Amino acid sequence: MISQKIAFLFLTRGHVPFEQVWKEFFAFRVNSDEYTIYVHPRRGFRFHNSSFFYGREIKNTVQTTYLQASVQMAEKELLKSALEDKDNAYFCLVSESCIPLHPFQAMKHALIASGRSIVNACRQGVHHDGITEVEARWRPELDLVPNLSRRMWRYILKISSLLISIYRLLSPTA
């Protein structure tokens, strides 16, 4: 059977505020051969050797500016690094402020079963009762997560997952 790994592509400015959450996500009933992690920190940043993300930084980084084309260039560098591993079949672009809401195995099953790319999978409409989709997805236990506010919640929903064929279309030189 061909391995179908999920490549997690972290685009960060520096350290990952929810590093411990991600460490636990990847440790809970997960084999390390089921995923790979690539990190694009700001140019010149290095993770401390005790960090879960230490040694996972990509070689080629781009100086990025929020909401500028340089962010897409950084994403492309992440993708190019991830495409070097032929076992990577799914690609999840993750920002430093994202947190996983479901266990790894549930996410992997959903990706494989859907057979589709998922871009910003959370709807942004308003429910019939007048609350927004973002508010509806907020859970009381999230109030216990340090440095996480409802104001930040919209940004945390920005996780994209694309199939390898779509990524190759987006980056034909990769």
Task: Outline where the chain has alpha helix (H).
Answer: 19-27, 69-83, 104-114, 133-137, 150-156, 164-170
Sheet containing 35-40: give its strands across. 35-40, 5-11, 88-95, 160-163, 118-119
Which residues, at least 6 apart from 1, have a Cβ–Cβ distance to it below 8 Å?
none
What tens digit of pLDDT does each residue of 97-130 get? 888 888 899 888 888 887 766 655 444 555 556 6
Percent of the chain predicted with pLDDT > 70: 64
The predicted structure's pLDDT at residue 108: 87
**Looking at residue 35, what is its pLDDT?**
95
Quote the pLDDT of residue 69: 76
The helix or strand, by DSSP H or E, that contains position 128, with its residue range, turns out to be none
Each domain of the chain, given as residue ranges in start order, spans 5-121+159-170, 124-155
Predicted local distance difference test score (pLDDT) of residue 68: 73
Query: Of all helices (H) and strands (E), which one includes residue 103?
Result: none
The answer to whether the CB of 35 falls within 8 A of the CB of 7 is yes
pLDDT-derived band at 156 (thresholds 50, 70, 90) equals very low
pLDDT in tens, 20-56: 999 999 998 889 999 999 999 998 899 999 999 999 9
Q: Kindly state the tokens that stand for 94.
A: 């993750």
pLDDT of residue 126: 55
Q: What are the tokens at 107?
A: 């996410």
CA distances from 101 to 10, 94, 98, 138, 152 (A): 16, 13, 9, 11, 15
Between strands 118-119 and 35-40, the pairing is unpaired
State the chain's mean pLDDT as an integer: 78
